[in-house]
Structure 1
């Protein structure tokens, strides 16, 4: 890998600010065209210019209004089952959330949240076997989701920024709903009891949330605590942790604000 000194970078920026083309600057200084493009992007961002001609303003960089409820839900989806990546051939990173075809309503809710949080950005669905990847493209994704980083989420710290925590505190149910819709579920358990000499079957609903990241589990349970939801951790041998909500009053609250996937 070649490293270029600050003097080379400054010469490149001087030429670029003078109107020179990226390719001409790269050829003149012997620097890869991609490096020149990256330097130009950072320079424009530092000077307050839009980082992309077609990229709408960012709620963090430009102060654009942000729908907090939709963002809280999308944040839950991202932490549970989403990731930000950049594919070869695409200059703009994308947030991708995989949604099973079993729950088309969840897929619609995910796409709707993306369009509200990123109005004007490109949103699409990519068909896969048994599911769709719902995507939104924006250069400002790392600004809006600062938890993004190399490696898997459970292999690095996941801590909300102060502004994110304020949004979750204002819209906790949207956050819980996003987490349940991504890595959780509502099921119906059953048991039998002997009543007056006769064995009867009883059914009762409960919620589960499973994740491998201890930090994401903590964000989930801390929010449940603030909402007055009783929960417990299930004993299991695998690395992932499962949180169960089974108390009748707590399940009723979850039903009122979250509900099953659909």
Structure 2
């Protein structure tokens, strides 16, 4: 019997595009074992039910709401779902290498939401944090063809219920993906000349108005004041920028978001 670490490593290598034979040689297992883990054999109805029990759609699982909505925020900003084969998918979240703490937290959250091992794929300037499962498309029904801004992004009732229950980690996930906390420097003319002031503020920028609407809805639930403007980033594509700058609102955000790390 092989350890779970070896099994998860074979899925990680398969997601990287290695052949079954190359994976078998690298991990010291047989090709037959690889295919058994990936595709399985005929299972009893009870065994199949056990494997899908944690899925909130085709099973009876109850997701950790705080972990799920944080991962949902990351997914809506920098995530996508890809297909390996035979119904096995991988969830991928792109994390900037500037924030190693975010990479670690993303990996922990994936394993908290689903009982799967998360692995990392290094890219130029970023790291993809991935996990494989047959149920990612159930858990994130917003997946689809094309860029997110080109199609409606609407939460299912059970997702909206989770966000309304835990708006703070949802906002945190969105800010960690497509947002930031910065020090804003402004210049003001006085009788004695120019004076400079610095104050912190949060920014969120996304080309999907629907995703922007999800953020401001969560902010409204917490009574956090915000402003939104539209900027043209690319031809025929607008960016919806949400800012939180009032002192009390920033202080409230600092309680559960804070700077990236």
1:237 alignment partner, SS class? strand
How far apart in 2 are the matches of 1:114 and 1:225?
27
CA deviation map 1:80-122 (0-9, x unaligned): 11000114x6862111000011001111111111010012x23
Larger of the two Rg values belongs to structure: 1
The answer to whether structure 1 residue 247 and structure 2 residue 231 are counterparts is no
Whether the 8 Å contact between 1:55 and 1:138 is mirrored in structure 2 is: no
Aligned pairs, how many? Answer: 218
Structure 2 distance, partners of 1:54, 1:69, is 23
TM-score for the superposition, normalised by structure 1: 0.76
What is the TM-score when the length of structure 2 is the normalising length?
A: 0.76
Instruction: Give the distance between the partners of 2:128 and 2:52, measured in 1 at CA.
Output: 21
> In structure 2, what is the equivalent of residue 234 of structure 1?
229
Alpha-carbon distance in 1 for matches of 2:182, 2:260: 10
2:89 to 69, 82, 93: 93
In 1, distance between residues paired with 2:86 and 2:127?
A: 19
Alignment RMSD: 2.6
Cα deviation code 1:11-51 (max 9, x no counterpart)? xxxxxxxxxxxxxxxxxxxxxxxxxxxxx99x989x78628
| Kept after mapping to 2: 8 A contact 1:206/1:244 | yes
Contact persistence 1:50–1:57 (CA under 8 A) = no
Matches within 5 A, 1:208-219: 208-219=203-214
Matched, 1:207 2:202: yes
Gaps of 5+ in 1: 1-39
1:190 matched to 2:190? no
Separation in 1 of the partners of 2:195 and 2:208?
40
SS for the counterpart of 1:169 is helix
User: What does residue 257 of structure 1 align with?
Assistant: 256
Higher strand proportion: 2
Q: Which residue does the alignment assign to 1:61?
A: 58
